[in-house]
Amino acid sequence: MEIPFTINERPDTGLTNPKFGIWLFLASEVMLFGSLFTSYIILRIGSPVPPHILAWPIQSQELNVLIGAINTAILIASSVTMILSWVALKEKQFKKFKLYMGLTIVLAVLFLVVKIWLEYLPKIQHGHVMSTNNFFAMYYLMTGLHALHIIGGIVVLAYFWGPGAKMWESNPEQFTNRIEVAGLYWHFVDLVWIFLFPTLYLL
Amino acid sequence: MDISVSNPLLVMSDPHNNLASNKNLHYVLIGALLLVLTVVTVWTSTFSFSIGVSVGIALIIATVKGSLVASYFMHLITENKLILIILFFTVIFFIALIFLPLSDTMNTVGSPNVY
Amino acid sequence: MTEEHHEELGWWRKYIFSLDHKVIGLQYGLTALSFLLLGFMLMILMRWQLAYPGEVIPWLTFVLIFIFIGFTIIYLAGKNRPYLALNSFIFFGIAGLIWYFTTGEERLPGGIMLPEFYNQLGAMHGTIMVFLGVVPLAVGAFGNYILPLQIGAPDMAFPRLNMASYWVYFIGGVLMIISFFLPGGAAQSGWTSYSPLADINTGQTMWLIAMLFLIMSSLLGAINFIVTTVQLRAEGMTWFRLPFFVWTQLITAFLLLLAFPSLQIGAIMQLLDRIAGASFFIPAGIIQGGKVLEYAGGGNPLLWQHLFWFLAHPEVYVLILPAIGIITEVITNNSRKPLWGYPAMVYSLFIVGFLSFVVYAHHMFITGMGTAVATWFQTTTMIISIPSVVFLAVLVFTLWGGSIRFTTPMLFALAWIPMFGIGGLTGLPLGLAPPDIHLHDTYYVIGHFHYIVAPGSIIAFFAGLYYWFPKICGHKLNDTLGKIHFWGTLIGMNLVFAPMLVQGMAGMSRRLYDGGMEYDHVQPVMFLNEWMTWGSWMIGIFQIFFILNMVLTLRKKSPTEDNPWEATTLEWATSSPPLAHGNFETEPVVYRPPYEYNVPVNGHIEPYLPQHKKVEMRD
């Protein structure tokens, strides 16, 4: 049994099921990260002024702005290669798709490597963990949840780069749709980081 | 490629390469703009503004960057109306989620039992 | 959809890991009903303790009753219906659980309940009823089974996602039950799990992990329902031809989609407070057992309440909106009249859905909320009561002048109107801060929301079960047994919940494990505890008629008729039960609004005009 409008758009709504589904998922994600920002704001304005032991630090002094900025650049670059891989499929250039998608995955992994080896591990070695204070708890929670989204993205993109790419032979249209949907998710993860970076590193 | 032929601007030249590189250039430029804005936001954070001003600047730049990603990479400017309506209500609820708890919390700021 | 297309699926793919929305709906329904029964048994234990504090609980009676019902089902199912016989395990399971509760010094030493265990029962009763019982029944079961049929769809938009959301829900439920067996027992900080108590109490970790599964399941389900409703409507099924039940499911799905993430974050933060030593919700200097706990502090306990109620108030509408949808279907069908104000209902639904996000902090008036903020929440709360009244008014106007059939589902639907009315009206004083501050921590609140969810939602689900049972197995449930079940349930429920309002207004505190024995001011209403206990027994005993009714009806062979209620909506446009693949023989086409009962057609009155029936109009 075929579910209608999996590949083609429904005429009166102008949408395919997967694309509509991913946008609903992203709407839910907006509320998910929205709750995080609410928590961040409330905990931060509820914290005492600096001489107090529980005062929040000036964040750019605790976190390495340069590493954060480099990671921002990496994610933006991966977003660009992601959309280029989709354009390549639209142009029916499968080899270009493989190249750009591969680059996206490499950049995503690079982001995680920087995040874990250059940020998390040195901080933990310095004894800055979740129980240190709420600033670090919030930092680990927000970046950790974002990193989980990155990992999820890598799994999905790697699947489409590797075994999932077989679909290009049998059903190129559906495969292009899948890449578009995966791309929407990936850009959203990038978008979240664009807000996380100033919130955590600069302010 | 029938898509490119239908575009009158590209009929004259080699349609295959031109369309792809045109679109690609467009996206690469937006990516470059995002990188520039990243540098700008880091640069502005080095000034010692008051906290309100620096939050304002950082959020404005982040919002501009976010809108670029959403509008162009996620194609929101040409997106389906239904999706835009749903996202509009999501944004309203997002604002409620931020400001309703905040309005309550502002009542208790500064009282020692919060810490 | 043709015969040669589908290969024969194995037993596992057919009954356990099925992708068919009807099987998944039944799985949801069966699991949710089992959890309702379990949550009910927890409540029976609590009520016994409240009526006879410090006395031995007759747990052996409970165990024997459940074993007896289990064996009766096996006997009635016979050799030919192994799937039906399998259901006896639910009853043996609950019997085993009660038996487990009575053993062990930390729960019921010598059959006498410990306060800690009473707290566990309270927290788990609320959690199981709301998150594992009512929501999965309303959305997972009714939504899954009925919604695709009503819009003329072959299945849900994402069948695999549908299966995944059931199994994620199932895992969440199993984890909840497992938490009873862990050292320290289950969660005991109430279903609201307020911090910092919940941060340091035993049993909470497993509760949070299980909740994360349940939230994930609801989010996946919500996406599926919205996409299905928007994308898979049959030809001609325009927005204002959707049956009202579909509308309620659509708005419910949006509430789940956009409200649940806040509790997801809240649950993750509370979990990190517990296992990673963070202090998101913990102020400095919390003292437990005379020792200052080692937390950095700086957290905000009210943040948890905000995150929790931002979900949990829309969640209340998740509990009641599908119920309103079911009642609308049953009432229009049995009063043989078009729904009186269909557009008013739909617009009210939109307003309720929207406002439910901005009223939530009326649950928090007693936290010392400032007057300006409280004014906002009081105002929005008063406004949201208007569309709720529109629902009731429209249903009553639909009855007016109809030729009412007093079938069993209709009895439940008719009883629902005043019951929901009581539930709604008793809520008004709680929406205003001054009376709320007096009533908030009393049994009045318990009475109010139980009137909404028990005689409200659950009565509506009974109406839906009786109404759609012939759709599922091709036979109506027995009417006599159904009426016995109806009267027993209705009277029993009122016997339990009406005294709560009285006790609450007398100032009796909720959450006390002995019912407040040491307080003078509640002595005049203490005797009501015994009434309520016997009322709850009455509810329980009359459910046996329902269980018996279902088992006896499922025993019948060869389905009788496809449309026994002479209904107009699309779920009756196919055979009963519907085809396993694709639901409909041919894709249905919709020609008219959903409730065309006794409408004039070509000069005569048509008793009912199904949505898919083509009629040539003469002038």
Instruction: Report CB contact under 8 Å: A195, B62.
Output: yes
CA-based nearest distance B61→chain C, Å: 26
- Does residue C3 carry a pLDDT above 60? no
pLDDT at C421: 95
Chain C window 153-212: which residues touch A at a Cβ cutoff of 8 Å?
154-155, 157-159
Task: Specify the CATH architecture of the domain C26-54+113-281+297-608.
Answer: Up-down Bundle (1.20)
- Does residue B85 carry a pLDDT above 50? yes
Going by pLDDT thresholds of 50, 70 and 90, the confidence category of residue B20 is: low
Q: Chain B residue closest to C301 (CA)?
A: B114
Instruction: Report CB contact under 8 Å: C302, B103.
Output: no
Going by pLDDT thresholds of 50, 70 and 90, the confidence category of residue B8 is: very low
**DSSP per position, A104-148:** HHHHHHHHHHIIIIIIIHHHHHTT--TTT-HHHHHHHHHHHHHHH
Nearest to A203 by CA among A141, A147, A135: A135
Q: Which residue has the higher pLDDT, C596 or C80?
A: C596
Question: Mutation test of the interface with chain B: which of A25, A80, A96, A135, choosing the one with the most B Cβ atoms within 10 A?
Answer: A80
Radius of gyration from C-alpha coordinates of chain C: 24
Q: Does A125 touch chain C (CB under 8 A)?
A: no
Chain A window 75-114: which residues touch C at a Cβ cutoff of 8 Å?
none
Q: Which of A47-51, C428-432, C459-463 has the lowest mean pLDDT?
A: A47-51
pLDDT at C515: 86
CA-based nearest distance B12→chain A, Å: 18
Q: What is the mean pLDDT of residues C1-18?
A: 68
Cα C314 to chain centroid, rounded: 14
User: A-chain residues within 8 Å CB-CB of B41?
Assistant: 197-198, 202
Q: Does C264 touch chain A (CB under 8 A)?
A: yes
User: For residue range C205-242, what is the model confidence (pLDDT) as tens digits?
Assistant: 999 999 999 999 999 999 999 999 999 999 999 999 99
Nearest to C590 by CA among C608, C611, C572, C606: C611
d(CA A77, CA A104): 8
Instruction: Report CB contact under 8 Å: A38, C306.
Output: yes
d(CA C242, CA C150): 8
CA-based nearest distance A143→chain C, Å: 13
Q: Does B7 touch chain A (CB under 8 A)?
A: no
- Does residue A76 carry a pLDDT above 90? yes
d(CA C297, CA A47): 10
pLDDT at C563: 92
d(CA A129, CA C257): 32
Q: Which residue has the higher pLDDT, C15 or A72?
A: A72
Q: What six digits make up the tokens of C205?
A: 């970790």
d(CA B82, CA C230): 10
Query: Which CATH code fits A17-44+65-202?
Result: 1.20.120.80
> Could you report how far apart the first and last alpha carbons of chain C are, in Å?
39
Q: Does C451 touch chain A (CB under 8 A)?
A: no
* Most confident of the following: A152-161, B18-27, B71-80, C46-55: A152-161
Going by pLDDT thresholds of 50, 70 and 90, the confidence category of residue C6 is: low
Q: Chain A residue closest to C282 (CA)?
A: A134
pLDDT at C312: 94
User: For residue range C253-281, what is the model confidence (pLDDT) as tens digits?
Assistant: 999 999 999 999 999 999 999 999 999 99
> Are C200 and C189 in contact, with CB atoms under 8 Å apart?
no
d(CA C219, CA A27): 11
- Does residue C7 carry a pLDDT above 80? no
Q: Chain A residue closest to B30 (CA)?
A: A80
Q: Does C357 touch chain A (CB under 8 A)?
A: no
Going by pLDDT thresholds of 50, 70 and 90, the confidence category of residue B113 is: very low
Instruction: Report CB contact under 8 Å: C283, B113.
Output: yes
pLDDT at B6: 40
Instruction: Report CB contact under 8 Å: A45, B61.
Output: no
pLDDT at B12: 41
Residues sharing a CB contact under 8 Å with residue B13, sequence separation 6 or more, in sequence order: none
User: C-chain residues within 8 Å CB-CB of A131?
Assistant: 276-279, 295-296
Q: Does C308 touch chain A (CB under 8 A)?
A: no
What percent of chain C shows pLDDT beyond 90?
Answer: 81
Instruction: Report CB contact under 8 Å: A92, B108.
Output: no
pLDDT at B108: 59
Residue type for position C536:
S
* Beta strands C287-288; C597-601: pairing state: unpaired
Question: Mutation test of the interface with chain C: which of B86, B107, B108, choosing the one with the most C Cβ atoms within 10 A?
Answer: B107
* Beta strands C604-608; C597-601: pairing state: antiparallel
Q: Which residue has the higher pLDDT, C603 or C348?
A: C348
Write b or e for each residue in C189-223: b if 16 or more Cβ atoms lie within 10 A of its Cβ, otherwise e.
bbbebbbbbbbbbbbbbbbbbbbbbbbbbbbbbbb
Nearest to A65 among B42, B80, B93 (CB): B42
Instruction: Report CB contact under 8 Å: A31, C259.
Output: yes
Going by pLDDT thresholds of 50, 70 and 90, the confidence category of residue C104 is: confident
pLDDT at C558: 77
Q: How far is CA C480 from CA A151, B17, C412, C459, C546, in A?
A: 58, 77, 14, 17, 11
Q: Does B60 touch chain A (CB under 8 A)?
A: no
Q: Which of C113-122, C373-382, C552-561 has the lowest mean pLDDT?
A: C552-561
Mean pLDDT of chain C: 93
Q: Does B42 touch chain A (CB under 8 A)?
A: yes
pLDDT at C469: 95
User: For residue range A96-144, what is the model confidence (pLDDT) as tens digits?
Assistant: 999 999 999 999 999 999 999 999 999 999 989 998 888 999 999 999 9
- Does residue B2 carry a pLDDT above 70? no
Instruction: Report CB contact under 8 Å: C158, A24.
Output: no
Q: What is the mean pLDDT of residues C549-556?
A: 91
- Does residue C422 carry a pLDDT above 60? yes
- Does residue B10 carry a pLDDT above 80? no
- Does residue C591 carry a pLDDT above 90? yes
Going by pLDDT thresholds of 50, 70 and 90, the confidence category of residue C364 is: very high
d(CA C615, CA C590): 11
Question: Mutation test of the interface with chain C: which of B83, B89, B104, B115, choosing the one with the most C Cβ atoms within 10 A?
Answer: B104
Residue type for position C313:
H
Instruction: Report CB contact under 8 Å: A3, C222.
Output: no
Q: Does A184 touch chain C (CB under 8 A)?
A: no
pLDDT at C530: 94
User: C-chain residues within 8 Å CB-CB of A36?
Assistant: 265
Global ipTM: 0.95
Going by pLDDT thresholds of 50, 70 and 90, the confidence category of residue A23 is: very high
Q: Does A126 touch chain B (CB under 8 A)?
A: no
User: For residue range A145-196, what is the model confidence (pLDDT) as tens digits?
Assistant: 999 999 999 999 999 999 999 999 999 999 999 999 999 999 999 999 999 9
- What are the helix and strand counts (H, E) for chain B? 4, 0
CA-based nearest distance C264→chain B, Å: 14
Mean pLDDT of chain A: 93
Q: Which of A156-160, C199-203, C383-387 has the lowest mean pLDDT?
A: C199-203
Residue type for position B80:
N
User: C-chain residues within 8 Å CB-CB of A132?
Assistant: 296
d(CA B86, CA C257): 11
Q: Which of B45-49, C16-20, C574-578 has the lowest mean pLDDT?
A: B45-49
